[in-house]
């Protein structure tokens, strides 16, 4: 590391410490987040993550919005500032050339941005995929969530409803209305998709041949066993979610 780069790192760290000491700010304060982003840009952390990954693989694969969950063999990207993860805002131009990747995967992320921003993101996914490349989008399924509201629930619906409310809404009655409202209003959710709407969004972005798969299953080996099903009891994330694949 050059002396000039060392000086830049030291200057950013001193600025961070000064802000902390002067204003008593928490680590998540927007000023500190901005300082972290400035530091990453100045010392080229994200550029290094990107370039090292692309130089090390023959089949590049982009994982968007996985937070701290790393997928082996993938370039993991997230809006949050995380060690070893490319910091990337998926609602802005992606830092890649056209036709860089063979595969793109995103799980339970697209619902966190407005519909118009999601179309932009999907268009960027289309741009950075190679011709014939595949995108896989997994997201909460509106049909499954709204389907909880009824008098003749299946055992699977009852299991999901009870687990969901007990886990995420422990101070509220276990009712379909509470679960449905939570899916729309909590965790920063902006737009919840059904199969038709997600398929249409992929088509608008330029993709073709949208096809639905069960979680962990795919017609492409590289897209199997990707979803984080272990965070829910067996079968419940599959009940809640929809996974579509489409071709560039």
In Å, how far are 23, 70, 90, 189, 237 from 231, measured between CA atoms? 38, 15, 24, 18, 8
Asked if 240 and 141 count as a contact pair (C-beta separation under 8 A), the reply is yes
Whole-number pLDDT of residue 151: 83
pLDDT along the chain (248 residues), means of 10: 57 62 62 58 78 97 96 96 92 97 98 97 98 98 95 94 97 96 95 98 98 97 97 96 98
Which tokens belong to 95? 């830092």
Q: What angle do CA 52, 57, 62 make, to 5 degrees?
A: 80
- Match 């014939």 to its residue by tokens: 132
What was the pLDDT predicted at 150?
83
CA angle in degrees (0–180, nearest 5) for 215-234-184? 70
The predicted structure's pLDDT at residue 45: 85
Give the separation between CA 131 and CA 138, rounded to whole angstroms: 22
The pTM score is: 0.84
What per-residue confidence (pLDDT) applies to 56?
97
């Amino acid at each position: 590391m050059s002396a000039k780069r060392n000086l830049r790192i030291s200057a950013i760290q001193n600025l961070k410490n000064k802000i902390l000491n002067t204003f008593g700010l928490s680590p998540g304060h927007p000023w500190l987040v901005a300082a972290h982003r400035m530091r990453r840009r100045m010392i080229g952390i994200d550029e290094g993550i990107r370039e090292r990954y692309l130089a090390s693989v023959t089949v590049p694969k982009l994982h968007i919005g996985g937070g701290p969950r790393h997928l082996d063999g993938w370039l993991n990207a997230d809006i949050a500032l995380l060690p070893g993860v490319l910091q990337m805002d998926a609602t802005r131009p992606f830092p890649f050339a056209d036709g860089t990747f063979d595969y793109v995967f995103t799980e339970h992320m697209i619902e966190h941005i407005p519909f118009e921003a999601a179309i932009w993101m999907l268009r960027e996914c289309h741009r950075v995929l190679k011709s014939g490349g595949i995108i896989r989008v997994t997201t909460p399924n509106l049909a499954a969530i709204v389907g909880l509201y009824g008098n003749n629930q299946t055992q699977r619906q009852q299991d999901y409803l009870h687990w969901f409310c007990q886990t995420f809404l422990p101070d509220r009655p276990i009712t379909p209305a509470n679960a449905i409202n939570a899916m729309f209003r909590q965790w920063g959710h902006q737009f919840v998709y059904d199969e038709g709407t997600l398929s249409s969004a992929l088509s608008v972005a330029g993709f073709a041949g949208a096809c639905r798969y069960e979680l962990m299953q795919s017609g492409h080996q590289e897209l199997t066993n990707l979803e984080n099903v272990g965070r829910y009891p067996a079968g419940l994330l599959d009940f809640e979610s929809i996974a579509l694949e489409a071709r560039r």
